[in-house]
Amino acid sequence: MNIKRRSLLTGGSAATIGWLAGGIPIPAWAQAGKSLNIALFPEPNSVTAGAGFTGPALMVLGNIYDGLLRYDEKLKPMPSLATEWSVSNDQLLYTFKLKRNVKWHDGKPFTADDVVYSIDVLMRAMAPRMRLALQSVQSITALDSHTVEFRMKEVYPAFLGLFDSSTSIVAKHIMGGIDLTKPITVAPVGTGPFKFKEWQRGTFIHLVKNEDYHETGLPKLDNVYWHIIPDGASRAAAFESGKVDVLPGGTVEYFDVARLAKLPGVTVTTKGWEKFAPQAWMWINHRSPLLANVKVRQAIMHAVDREAMAKVIWQGYATPATGTFNRHTPYYTDKVASYPLDVAKAKRLLAEAGYKGETIRLLPIPFGEAWTRMAEMVKQNLTQAGFKVETISADLPGTIARQGGWDFDLTFTFLYQSGDPALGVSRNYISSEIKKGSTVNNVGGYSNAKVDALFERGAKERDPAKRAETYAEVQRILADDVATAWLLELNFPTVYRTKVNNLISSAVGLNDSLGRASIS
């Protein structure tokens, strides 16, 4: 397999270099100058805010739309559409002053009414992460055309962490008349540094410079092309040939990163994921009678070789997770039940659980070769421990349908923890977020009233020490229960050419930084 793959890689590079150097006209997306070419996979379902919530979708739409705030690598908020903000002493009133003379891509003025609609209507209806956080918000009011007031029902210390580009501010005059119970089909119109130009399905998404961007001198690029390349070897070949300048984290197979990094004029960075703190795990379907038995879930944890996953599959660009919190997420603790690789113990737990050889249906995610190999390794690990495992194959729409329809026993995911347990962790475990059709919040159907209460308490506690105690307790319970089969903390490497300057300029990386990037 490796020989064939290398042949494809070498042949593809040579062929592409031929048209770069020869007399064949160079396509627009490959021309030198102020065009940036980026690999993208999998193809988003939408790049309109409110409709696109996959990682690739957020990466594109985060450069079309702005959030109220940006965040540095220490997660400190910085201005974006909001120029300043204040918090009352009782932490129940947040007031944002908005930037003036900002225009939507269609030339209409940006106002506070757009912010109110975006957060109070669109995000409450369409954004799983925001929907939970906004339960603590009593009202959102436009005090004048450039001032927005958020009045809280209760203290919510994570509030200022909500407003990155994934919480996109949209144009009320475009989105306000849309029926949000139906698929959103309008073209994306934002205030961001780039305008949506064209989408050739299966080929590329083209963004162009916003000449009226509200930050002086930005953007520095004229075009951004997101090239949809389904195969990992082809993405690596496209980078080697010069077709693409940037391979975002997760788009190139990890065994290729070290090789590509040795090419002249190439840089690798893991920056730009600080706010996301991505974590990979397997959803466990707690609705299954077999998996409802905690000893079976504990057997799964002891059977899976997370160290090998990190070293072999992810080539060191991942760290075995110690529990449900990423170690970069505030209030993380490793003082929880551990599940080291122990096949003999897994077999004993299965025997104690009365396992009779029932089949476990394992649903991979079609996000590239690393995820395919993850599924292969898990199946092998579980089989060695005595489980009978069937792998279910599905394309991305089929995988989404099966996950949202609860049609699996084990399935993979990776989700962002978003800089605070109240923003990116609790939604995966609280029972109120069990909603058929959702593929991002508590897909496994885990339910524990004490965990619900602890997450609610932690979200409202203003004393950091008491928050730490609360979240330590919830981590211990989740580990004891094996609420999910946590696997890895992901350290996505972005591979890019050194001619690209300032590619990463915030804690969400490519999701909002291209407006500040340039090509030397």
CATH code, 354: 3.10.105.10
- Classify residue 235: in a domain, yes or no: yes
Q: Which tens digits make up the pLDDT trace of 61-96? A: 999 999 999 999 999 999 999 999 999 999 999 999
**Whether residue 497 is found in the same domain as residue 486:** no
CA distance 106 to 97: 23
CATH code, 198: 3.40.190.10
Domain of residue 132, residue span: 69-175
Q: What is the pLDDT of residue 4?
A: 34
Paired strand residues for 486: 281
Q: Which DSSP string do the residues of 200-225 spell out, in sequence order?
A: ETTTEEEEEE-TT-SSTT----SEEE
- Classify residue 21: in a domain, yes or no: no
**Whether residue 461 is found in the same domain as residue 314:** yes
CA distance 128 to 125: 8
Q: Evaluate whether 201 touches 143 at the Cβ level (below 8 Å).
A: no
- Classify residue 342: in a domain, yes or no: yes
**Whether residue 405 is found in the same domain as residue 288:** yes
- Classify residue 182: in a domain, yes or no: no
CATH code, 116: 3.90.76.10
Q: What is the pLDDT of residue 217?
A: 96
- Classify residue 180: in a domain, yes or no: no
Q: Supply angle C-alpha 421, 424, 428, rounded to 5.
A: 100
- Classify residue 187: in a domain, yes or no: no
**Whether residue 412 is found in the same domain as residue 318:** yes
Q: Evaluate whether 199 touches 224 at the Cβ level (below 8 Å).
A: no
**Whether residue 49 is found in the same domain as residue 83:** no
pTM of this structure: 0.84
The tally of domains found in the chain comes to 3
**Whether residue 448 is found in the same domain as residue 299:** yes
Residue numbers in the chain where pLDDT is lower than 70: 1-33
Q: What is the pLDDT of residue 33?
A: 53
Q: What is the pLDDT of residue 254?
A: 86
**Whether residue 241 is found in the same domain as residue 160:** no
